[in-house]
Amino acid sequence: MRKLVAYTSALLLLLAGLIACQYAAPTPTQTTATGTTATPEIVPASTIPPGIDGYDIRGPVPEAIEALRQMAQEHPGLSFGISGTYAEQVPGTYDAFRVEEDAPFVGQFWLWNARLEAHDFAITCLVDHVQTPCTPDAPMVQLMTMQVDEEILLPLEIPGLTRGRHDFSVTFWQDPYADHENPEADSRVFDSNTYRARVSIFVGGDTASPTLYYENPSGQPSHNSIDFTVSQELDPRVEGGSFPIMTHISATAGELFELYIHLNNRESATIDYAITAFINYQQISIYRNGEPHTPLYVHVPATTWQPIAVQVQAPGEPGSYEFIVVGTLFPFARLDVETEEYYGIDALINNAYSSARILLEVE
């Protein structure tokens, strides 16, 4: 089933509604560092089948594609995945690649629009949660329209990777500018918008992860509703103890405006986040206590709801912009191994937490 899972669609719904919860002021936050201190494992090189050129890209598995086409007849959606060369493929997995030192990762991103209508897409790549062109000569964000039943194979070439473990993803948005001038449009809340295919890359076969510095907040007990959203208020509750989903914000040109990223961990163990922000799908820094972070790493204790106070800088030119915040669970998780800590590898590969798509009006 791993062949099929690697190319199934990630349908993360932005749940709309009101969140009922109780809230009290949080205590001051702390910053902690986490990383790998044990001797890292060195993953073996791939065994290349006879008659195969190791530099050839191992594309979508035909049996998996046929299974997906059968599924799409009853459940139209999106299917996508990342593939690399035969030489890069880590043995026993479709979700990790081994790259030699001083060599680029070379692969392709496959996307199939199996929906019943055409859609626009904005596609970008992130290495270690930092936006980068998918190839050295590609634009930072690639915009395209895909017709019904259309497939694309997007080249990937990521040079300059240092030795050790890297977290690589192709993140994309469906209909990124739909209802652009309408902050009340249902498409901003109800439509699945943010998608992501994610893999591990081990340079030199080395699985050592970097040391990360996490904001380590405490908060209130978790609630039973949405797990990731943003607000301009520390306590945005309305009558009945619920709060609405924000789809509109105003700022002056160049202003550093305040936001709260609300993280709700209903699990019995800690969840770590890498949080990224985008204006018109170009990554921007998230400021915390005046310091820029790209990305912002946050450590959320078990069964805790925590609003994180941050600042975002508005564009320098007046106009209407699309603003979105995306959260990745367990940054630098090894996606070639099943680990209870990660609540299922398949969810990490395909899912991206996301705020509603917010209309940012700059005056």
- First CA to last CA across the chain, in angstroms? 52
Q: Tokens 């509703």, residue? A: 225
Kindly indicate the confidence band of residue 221, based on its pLDDT and cuts at 50, 70 and 90.
confident
Inter-residue contact 47 to 86 (CB < 8 Å): no
Higher pLDDT pick, 268 / 317: 317
- Spatial neighbors of 130 by CB under 8 A, at least 6 apart, are 283, 294, 295
**Of the options 3.40.50.720, 3.40.190.10, 1.10.600.10, 2.60.40.10, the CATH number for the domain spanning 30-36+211-362:** 2.60.40.10
CA 70/CA 116 separation, integer angstroms: 15
Q: Which fold has domain 2-8+42-203?
A: Immunoglobulin-like (2.60.40)
Long-range contacts of 179-187 (CB under 8 A, 24+ apart): 180/320, 180/322, 180/359, 181/320, 181/359, 182/359, 183/247, 183/248, 183/359, 184/247, 184/248, 185/247, 187/357
3-state SS string for 184-199:
CCHHHCCCCCEEEEEE
Give Cα separations from 128 to 212, 238, 361 (angstroms).
Answer: 11, 38, 30
Provide the pLDDT for residue 219: 80
Q: In this structure, are strands 248-251 and 358-362 parallel, antiparallel, or unpaired?
A: parallel
Lowest mean pLDDT: which of 70-84, 248-262, 303-317? 70-84
Closest by CA position to 19, among listed 227, 291, 313: 227
- Above pLDDT 70, what percent of the chain? 82
Domain residue ranges of the chain, discontinuous segments joined by +? 2-8+42-203, 30-36+211-362
Q: What phi-psi label fits residue 214: left (phi over 0), alpha (psi between -120 and 50 degrees) or beta?
A: beta
Lowest mean pLDDT: which of 34-43, 139-148, 178-187, 195-204? 34-43
Tokens representing 259 are 């936001």
Q: In this structure, are strands 119-127 and 105-113 parallel, antiparallel, or unpaired?
A: unpaired
Provide the pLDDT for residue 17: 23
State yes or no: pLDDT of 27 exceeds 70.
no
Lowest mean pLDDT: which of 9-18, 105-114, 220-229, 331-340? 9-18
Q: What phi-psi label fits residue 300: left (phi over 0), alpha (psi between -120 and 50 degrees) or beta?
A: beta
Higher pLDDT pick, 9 / 255: 255
Phi, psi of 188 (to 5 degrees): -75, -25
State yes or no: pLDDT of 34 exceeds 60.
no
Inter-residue contact 174 to 118 (CB < 8 Å): no
Provide the pLDDT for residue 62: 80
Kindly indicate the confidence band of residue 299, based on its pLDDT and cuts at 50, 70 and 90.
very high
3-state SS string for 92-161:
CCCCEEEECCCCCEEEEEEEEECCCCCEEEEEEEEECCEEECCCCCCCCCEEEEECCCCEEEEEEEECCC
Tokens representing 263 are 């993280």
Q: What is the pLDDT of residues 135-153, one digit of tens each?
A: 999 999 999 999 999 999 9
Inter-residue contact 171 to 124 (CB < 8 Å): yes
- Spatial neighbors of 291 by CB under 8 A, at least 6 apart, are none
Closest by CA position to 119, among listed 154, 155, 80, 78: 78
Mean pLDDT of 100-105: 96
Compute the mean pLDDT over every residue in the chain, rounded to the nearest whole number: 84
**Mean pLDDT comparison of 16-30, 157-171, 326-340, highest-scoring range:** 157-171
Provide the pLDDT for residue 220: 85
CA 14/CA 206 separation, integer angstroms: 36
2-8+42-203 and 30-36+211-362, same CATH topology: yes
Inter-residue contact 302 to 265 (CB < 8 Å): yes
Mean pLDDT of 91-111: 94
Mean pLDDT of 222-246: 77
